[in-house]
Chains A and B, each alone.
Chain A
């Protein structure tokens, strides 16, 4: 069994900066995930995530991204495209994911496979909840993550769940 981590990162207090967190919450409402898939709301953490990232077969990272494309554009980056992406574009955090991955590499604990699913945000205003435009694109975005899990052999099972915390907080 692969040890898969789906890691959502971002700040829910800054509108679409929280895309990763909202996407994960929706994913868990739409699907029951197999036991070998762990879902973590990483918020804006750095070092705290080192332990979670260590020794995984696969990490699916979900985040807001700035690629220069139009807002709402979704991207999937994997393999060689990813380290280069991280090297030139890391967060202004004390230690970004790029640094964490380098530390894990130094220790021989880096994830074997790393895939990023991202969406270019519409708004980064100080506001709780997604922009209407990003919210409208969420179901499709979440499906892409579900497809990724299917590809990894960890097929999620559809369910009708309750509203999650962050969804309810916005309402």
Chain B
């Protein structure tokens, strides 16, 4: 028996510590601990709710846009405001492009290194790699010359001794199973993905005014002026430019990303049997198509116990079921917990640090529940709820990945395989493709609506005297994000952000039920305790983002693994 502590987990956002008990080569117990105190919401108290989005987009370096959009939605909800549809479409395109960007980066630049052995790619035969890649896809950058060029670049880089980005990989680990040629294809697409994530970012810049922090949002709409014939505002030329960017992204996502996830997945099908964890899935609907957010291009809802038949749809930005079902427990978190759990409108954030206590408090992350149960959020929850809602685009791309992986592995893959570590990666790719489909529809809807002569993008908010409260949600790249605002005489009185990684990385709750990271680790194989690659695979599959609080250059770069025999 042994106890593994990984602190910090690298290639994620923020500071996460994972402890696992390992017995007979398998994880038998696990603890997830967020090592940073947030409490940034306190800064918002007393401020103008119209500015809240500017501050909330500073909470995290990855999710800037995500917090900004959710904040304006929360304030608009408190005001019961209708938002011009043009503003909805423009916002939708910004969040769609951001999501596509985020998923590409997660798979190729963060997650893939758990599965792809970069060093092994140096041994590959570039011609064989090219032949294999071309047999799987029409993607234009799969030529032998391309593969050879990538291999040469990698050789130069590795021999320079500056492994940098690749320094923390478990190269040569027995759990790495891809043939050298597949590793080389993945490495080639790793480099190409750098170009395509830039393209996604360009869409955010064109519409959002600036990146990394968008400037075009406002409570009541967006600050973009539309005039299809003017040179200085959002015009047809810029919209056509956005369309060409969307088309380029679609080519990469459908011909490279979806194919790669199927091919890599086919070699790791055993990972469809690990990492199941919490199977209550929660995802918010998104891409509102009307002023009040009652029609959505991407549906969402709640699935209890992994049973798609029990799917409950979340129907609007005003959904009372969602509003009333979210609570947060601090029983195992470093906060005071008088009455526990609490609804976010009553949420408290008063720190009470103990030490890391496995039966007591051990994390700065609170533990959220939906209908009093823990819930998994993220692309898998999103894809399952969209599938349950009968979304055509989801069925198409999910079918493609499952069929292609099955064809390569020469076996039939059931839908239930999605409840796993591998399933989370597959779902992220599927969601990325679905979002691109939606992005195209948002673009068309905007152009069509503007063509009718409607160029309204903003309505001025009016704040009443007295207290009002509102919530806003957004199906962000890592799952449902919600902001909860209490506003008194036009000033913020209480503000709580329930972030996706809180749902997934949370510790045990008020009923001592494990959070999704913890539950998903139980049963994971661990071949070599000193090099727990398998633990990282499952944790990374959630795309952890510990709501970044710290940026300063001050921590050691190396992942530190401590193993204690018990």
A-to-B contact residues, CB < 8 Å: 9-14, 17, 41-51, 63-66, 83, 85-99, 101-103, 105-107, 118, 121, 124, 126-128, 165, 169
List 16 additional contacts besides A43-B213, A96-B557, A102-B165; criterion CB under 8 Å. Answer: A17-B550, A48-B211, A63-B552, A64-B552, A89-B555, A90-B553, A91-B550, A91-B554, A91-B555, A92-B8, A103-B164, A107-B191, A107-B194, A124-B552, A126-B43, A128-B55
- Out of B43, B109, B110, B549, which one reaches A127, CB within 8 Å? B43
Residue of A nearest to B545 (CB): A94
Question: A45 contacts B212, CB within 8 Å?
Answer: yes
Complex interface: chain A residues within 8 A of B157 (CB): 105-106
B-to-A contact residues, CB < 8 Å: 8, 11-15, 37-40, 42-43, 51, 54-55, 58-62, 64, 101, 105, 109-110, 153, 157, 162, 164-165, 191, 194, 197-198, 201-202, 211-213, 545, 548-557
- Out of B13, B43, B557, which one reaches A98, CB within 8 Å? B557
Question: A66 contacts B550, CB within 8 Å?
Answer: no
Complex interface: chain B residues within 8 A of A124 (CB): 550, 552
Complex interface: chain B residues within 8 A of A66 (CB): 552-554
Residue of A nearest to B56 (CB): A13
Residue of A nearest to B554 (CB): A66
Bound together, the chains give a CA A128 to CA B41 distance in angstroms of 11
- Out of A13, A46, A48, A95, which one reaches B43, CB within 8 Å? A13
- Out of A51, A99, A169, which one reaches B198, CB within 8 Å? A51
Question: A102 contacts B164, CB within 8 Å?
Answer: yes
- Out of B101, B202, B553, which one reaches A91, CB within 8 Å? B553
Complex interface: chain B residues within 8 A of A105 (CB): 157, 162, 164
Question: B110 contacts A94, CB within 8 Å?
Answer: yes
Report B335 CB to chain A, min CB distance, Å. Answer: 14
Residue of A nearest to B558 (CB): A88
- Out of A11, A50, A86, which one reaches B550, CB within 8 Å? A11
Question: A94 contacts B12, CB within 8 Å?
Answer: yes
- Out of A17, A44, A88, A126, which one reaches B557, CB within 8 Å? A88
Bound together, the chains give a CA A103 to CA B555 distance in angstroms of 21
Residue of B nearest to A106 (CB): B157
A-B contact list, 14 entries, CB within 8 Å: A11-B548, A45-B62, A46-B62, A48-B212, A50-B197, A65-B552, A85-B553, A91-B552, A94-B62, A102-B164, A106-B157, A124-B552, A126-B43, A126-B549
Report B410 CB to chain A, min CB distance, Å. Answer: 35
Given A43-B58, A103-B165, are A48 and B552 also a contact pair (CB < 8 Å)?
Answer: no
Task: Tally A-B pairs: CB < 8 A.
Answer: 151
Main SS class of interface, A = mixed
Question: B64 contacts A43, CB within 8 Å?
Answer: yes
Complex interface: chain A residues within 8 A of B198 (CB): 50-51
Question: B553 contacts A44, CB within 8 Å?
Answer: no
Bound together, the chains give a CA A31 to CA B61 distance in angstroms of 28
Question: A95 contacts B110, CB within 8 Å?
Answer: yes
Complex interface: chain B residues within 8 A of A169 (CB): 51
Bound together, the chains give a CA A86 to CA B164 distance in angstroms of 10
Question: B194 contacts A93, CB within 8 Å?
Answer: no
Question: A14 contacts B61, CB within 8 Å?
Answer: no
Bound together, the chains give a CA A97 to CA B198 distance in angstroms of 16
Bound together, the chains give a CA A13 to CA B550 distance in angstroms of 10
- Out of B38, B61, B153, B557, which one reaches A43, CB within 8 Å? B61
Bound together, the chains give a CA A88 to CA B554 distance in angstroms of 9
Report A68 CB to chain B, min CB distance, Å. Answer: 10
Report A25 CB to chain B, min CB distance, Å. Answer: 13
Bound together, the chains give a CA A99 to CA B167 distance in angstroms of 10
Bound together, the chains give a CA A106 to CA B149 distance in angstroms of 12
Given A95-B109, A102-B162, A107-B191, are A128 and B43 also a contact pair (CB < 8 Å)?
Answer: yes
Bound together, the chains give a CA A45 to CA B139 distance in angstroms of 30
Complex interface: chain B residues within 8 A of A10 (CB): 551-552
Report A5 CB to chain B, min CB distance, Å. Answer: 14
Residue of A nearest to B57 (CB): A43
Complex interface: chain A residues within 8 A of B165 (CB): 95, 99, 102-103, 106
Bound together, the chains give a CA A118 to CA B552 distance in angstroms of 10
Complex interface: chain B residues within 8 A of A93 (CB): 13-14, 61-62, 548, 551
Bound together, the chains give a CA A126 to CA B64 distance in angstroms of 18
Report A10 CB to chain B, min CB distance, Å. Answer: 6
